Amino acid sequence: MSTTTQTAPVLHSEAMPVEQSQLRLIVRRFARHRLAVVCSALLVSIFLLAGAVRALVPFDATEIEVGNSFAAPFSVSLKDGRTHYLGTDHLGRDYWSRILYAARISLTVAVVSVIGSTAVGAVVGALSGYYGGVLDDILMRFVEFLLTIPTLPILLILSSILLQSPKAVPVPDFIINGLSGFMYISALEARQVVMIMLVLMSLGWLGIARLTRGVVLSLKTMNFVEAARAAGVSNTRIILRHMIPNAFAPLVVSASLGLADYVISEAALSFLGFGIQDPTPTWGNMLSFTESYMFEHPWLPLIPGLPIFICALAFNYVGDGLRDALDPRLQL
Amino acid sequence: MNAVSTQTNGANGSAQSPKKLLEVNNLVKHFPVRGGLLQRVVAQVRAVEDVSFHIYDGETFGLVGESGCGKTTVGRTILRLVPATGGSVTFEGQDVFAANPRQLKQLRRNMQIIFQDPYSSLDPRMPVGESIGEGLLVHGIGTRAERFERVIQTLRSVGMQEYHARRYPHEFSGGQRQRIGIARALALQPKFIVCDEPVSALDVSIQAQVLNILQDLQAEYKLTYLFVAHNMSVVEHIADRVGVMYLGKLVEVAPRGELFRNPRHPYTKALMSAIPVPDPRLKRERIILKGDVPSPLKPPAGCRFHTRCPEAIERCKTEEPLLRETSTGHWTSCLLVN
């Protein structure tokens, strides 16, 4: 070994002075995107509120106080001394409590749908791009066909079918039970929530698949893939250890942008009455009931509308920040 | 086309063993061009046409030619990184193209590649130590600690340090990355390495450094190189024997000294006359080739070089020359050479 070391001395001037982990670099670049930092703080607090919902709300989500509809914010319950921080809705249910329970449900729906559709899309896209040929043709023509159809009508039809017969799709009990425990809803409601997640996922993976395929196609031409094959690395390992990690940054970005999409889509479905049904609270269906009363009680639509607005905006900015932070071409 | 069947004297006529490590017989590689609505094959790019040569154990075989002549494709096809259209490659008596997946994986321990572009040859999301050790991992060589030890040892052998193993490719310069690429090829302790223009993307100062490393490693590990290049000076420096390619065909094969002293094929002569000489007062005859290389989609009939050959005669347009031994160890594919 020593003979070669002599002829090829290490050129210290070429090396970077300090060792830096990738993660620290990414965090530093993300921190420079002020708006994204503010938005992630906002999102973290919303997630914390939704997480600690039991400790923060005085009422149950479905608890009706008869004769006290449209109570003003900070009014006191007629029965006992509990405060309606944000008033009550048309049935006399506590608005603040419902908003927080709804946050838990709406955000869970968005997060689970994003994870599911990203996983499916990444696998389909990676297979399609890496193996190419007939498989690629079949998968991509199928994806393109689905993408040409307007999304909302399809979602409406799908969800009306699935909500009509929720048993049509077999869902393992532990998922239903887990979700019903997590979101403080009944098993029947949880099944409904799962159906809505499936509806959102059914079209959500399409864009991810195309994105991943594009990334994989460009990675496939890189020499390091060929070097791995020359070393005897299997296709599976190349996809898992080289393709997916390199496609990770665009996937994370598109997932965070997808969260915004899913919050809105779920709200839109529920608003139109094809989503999660009352009495299970979601931001969307809370909004839909305010329609008839908004002229007399204008704060009613604002309260569930605001978190939808904030979440959609914040996820978008965080996505932007991540895009900048994860781009390996940018150096700090 | 039986350039391989006759035993020639080894490189430089030195005490090299005449054992053939690699034999390439009538290698053909066509790339289909697809077009139209149904993506049917409308044409074939004839990248490599009927190429035969052999490489002796421990030597460096230089393969030169201009861009697009198929020299890189020859290297990649030998390693089965792209499937060949025809012909055969024999490595240590084993047919590479006929190997089943398990045999191929074993073969790959002995046959590695170094790429031209140091920027795309390393995975940007993987620490370089892991890239180097990946081959060891998938071949199940050693324990985790032993593999790491081998990675470090390989890194040192290309003049890098232990702490470099944890770093990512973007933290290195082009020359360093190229050395890491060499380390990755070395990690499996192969017998044969295809060097695909390993220095043409580097600064001249770094070129010398990398070439020296390659030569030192060859001496230390008894490596055999197929050295693909377009720079004649680099080839003259490193190769023992040289093959010259033109438009997918091998036009001349000879020991380095013989080829540079006594080029026989008109194309080789033109290449030689284009080598810059660091003497401004030296008068010499430059052979300037006219026109462009014909498209490999539709190579010319007869001798492929006749469209640009300054010595071409009528016969060259119709009759295809064979690569034949015109003197001991010197093979030429030209009708005009006796």
Edge to edge, the sheet with strand B86-91 lists B40-56, B20-35, B86-91, B94-95
* pTM value surpassing 0.90: no
Residue A83 lies in a domain: no
Q: How far apart are CA B307 and CA B291, in angstroms?
A: 8
Residue pLDDT, tens place only, B231-253: 898 999 999 999 999 999 999 99
> What is the distance of C-alpha B46 from the center of its chain?
18
Q: Which residue of A has its CA nearest to B214?
A: A4
Residue A121 lies in a domain: yes
Averaged pLDDT, B285-300: 84
Averaged pLDDT, A104-119: 94
Cβ A217 vs Cβ A129: under 8 Å: yes
Averaged pLDDT, B176-205: 92
Of residues A174 and B286, the one with the higher pLDDT is A174
Chain A contact present for B156, CB below 8 A:
yes
**Chains A and B: how many Cβ contacts under 8 Å?**
114
Residue A307 lies in a domain: yes
Q: Which residue of B has its CA nearest to A231?
A: B135
- Find the CATH number of the domain harbouring A272: 1.10.3720.10
Residue A268 lies in a domain: yes
Residue A279 lies in a domain: yes
Residue A225 lies in a domain: yes
3-state secondary structure A241-275: HHHHHHHHHHHHHHHHHHHHHHHHHHHHHHHCCCC
Report which listed range, A205-214, B163-172, B285-294, is most confident.
A205-214
Q: What's the gap in Å between the CA of A17 and the closest CA on chain B?
A: 10
Give the pLDDT confidence score for residue A15 in this predicted structure.
42
Give the pLDDT confidence score for residue A330 in this predicted structure.
54
Q: How far apart are CA A105 and CA A53, in angstroms?
A: 11
Residue pLDDT, tens place only, B248-282: 999 999 999 999 999 999 999 998 888 888 888 87
Residue B20 reports pLDDT greater than 70: yes
Chain B contact present for A328, CB below 8 A:
yes
- Complex ipTM value: 0.84
Residue B41 reports pLDDT greater than 80: yes
Give B125's pLDDT tier (boundaries 50, 70, 90): confident
Residue pLDDT, tens place only, B192-225: 999 999 998 888 888 999 999 999 999 999 999 9
For chain A, the domain total comes to: 1
Candidate from A108-112, A270-274, B187-191 with smallest mean pLDDT: A270-274
Contacts of B327 (CB under 8 A, 6+ apart): none
Q: Which residue of A has its CA nearest to B167?
A: A19
Contacts of A134 (CB under 8 A, 6+ apart): none
Residue pLDDT, tens place only, A133-184: 899 999 999 999 999 988 888 889 988 888 888 777 888 889 989 988 888 8
Q: How far apart are CA B51 and CA B11, in angstroms?
A: 20
Residue A30 reports pLDDT greater than 80: yes
For chain B, the average pLDDT equals 88
DSSP state of B228: E
Residue A164 lies in a domain: yes
Residue B51 reports pLDDT greater than 90: yes
Averaged pLDDT, B319-334: 91
Residue B15 reports pLDDT greater than 60: no
Residue pLDDT, tens place only, B86-108: 999 999 999 999 999 999 999 99
Q: How far apart are CA B50 and CA A230, in angstroms?
A: 24
Interface test mutation site (partner B, options A223, A236, A251, max chain B beta carbons within 10 A): A223
Give A329's pLDDT tier (boundaries 50, 70, 90): low
Give the pLDDT confidence score for residue B3 in this predicted structure.
43
Give the pLDDT confidence score for residue A113 in this predicted structure.
95
For chain A, the average pLDDT equals 86
What is the extent of the structural domain holding A167?
22-65+94-325
Residue A72 lies in a domain: no
Q: Which residue of A has its CA nearest to B106?
A: A232
The conformational region for residue B260 under phi > 0 = left, psi -120 to 50 = alpha, else beta, is alpha
Residues 60-79 of B with CB under 8 A from A: 76, 79
Chain A contact present for B141, CB below 8 A:
no
Give DSSP secondary structure letters for A185-248.
--HHHHHHHHHHHHHHHHHHHHHHHHHHHHHHHHHHTSHHHHHHHHTT--HHHHIIIIIHHHHH
Residues 18-47 of A with CB under 8 A from B: 19, 22
